């Protein structure tokens, strides 16, 4: 991580907390492209990201991490490739209260498989207060079966410390010599 400007992508299904997570850690007011939900998303929330979310995290020494959040709806998947271009890593947020978060994990890992060939992955599981199962251990067991072992955290996207832990785990996976 020798560059002064780095780009991290946040992805996951609608309602997983991407917009909230970026807002909680950004050192500048985040840019959001929310629009009123007009489809099945309306059952989960009133507004949804239609293009991107954007924030900046300033690190010591003048380095910056640009934080890009993808739309969660598959109909906006053309934005996923656009936003991930030049990215150094992927943070996948999973909403544990959705009907099948394991399927969501598999879907997004497959959707970003080309990106993940060269970039590390970190997973944050949200809304475990609403639905504690599956556990982080369950996710890790499923991933280990396919020889994947990304760092996995239970997080609250509103917590700057929780989101910072995700970002730092991603940065440490790129450069284990980084100081905290």
In the prediction, which pLDDT does 3 show? 61
**pTM of the entire structure?**
0.87
Q: Which two tokens stand for residue 131?
A: 């639905």
Spell out the residues 6+ positions from residue 56 whose beta carbon is closer than 8 angstroms to its own. Answer: 26, 27, 28, 64, 65, 66, 67
Alpha carbon distance 166, 153 (integer Å): 7
Strands 47-58 and 121-126: unpaired
In the prediction, which pLDDT does 62 show? 84
Half-sphere exposure of 78 (CA within 13 A, CB side): 2
With CA atoms as reference, report the closest residue to 18 among 7, 1, 34, 37: 34
Q: What is the pLDDT of residues 57-108, one digit of tens each?
A: 998 888 889 999 998 778 788 889 988 999 999 999 999 999 999 999 999 9
pLDDT exceeds 80 at position 37:
no
In the prediction, which pLDDT does 1 show? 46
Alpha helices in 11-67 (DSSP H): 18-25
Domains and CATH numbers, the chain: 5-174 (3.40.50.300)
Q: What is the pLDDT of residues 104-155, one digit of tens each?
A: 999 999 999 999 999 999 999 999 999 999 999 999 999 999 899 999 999 9
- What average pLDDT does the segment 160-174 reach? 94
């Amino acid at each position: 991580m020798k560059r002064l400007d780095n780009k991290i992508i946040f992805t996951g299904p609608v309602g997983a907390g991407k917009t909230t997570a970026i807002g909680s850690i950004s050192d500048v007011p985040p840019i959001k492209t929310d629009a009123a939900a007009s489809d099945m998303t309306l059952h989960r929330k009133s507004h949804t990201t239609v293009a991107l979310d954007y924030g900046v995290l300033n690190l010591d020494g003048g380095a910056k991490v640009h934080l890009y959040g993808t739309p969660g709806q598959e109909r906006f998947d053309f934005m996923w490739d656009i936003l991930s271009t030049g990215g150094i890593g992927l943070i996948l947020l999973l909403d544990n209260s959705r009907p099948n978060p394991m399927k969501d994990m598999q879907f997004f890992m497959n959707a970003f498989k080309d990106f993940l060939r060269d970039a590390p992955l970190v997973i944050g599981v949200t809304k475990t207060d609403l639905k504690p199962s599956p556990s982080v251990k369950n996710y890790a067991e499923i991933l280990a079966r396919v020889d994947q072992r990304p760092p996995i955290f239970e997080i609250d996207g509103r917590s700057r410390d929780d989101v910072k832990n995700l970002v730092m785990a991603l940065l440490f996976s790129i450069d284990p010599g980084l100081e905290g």
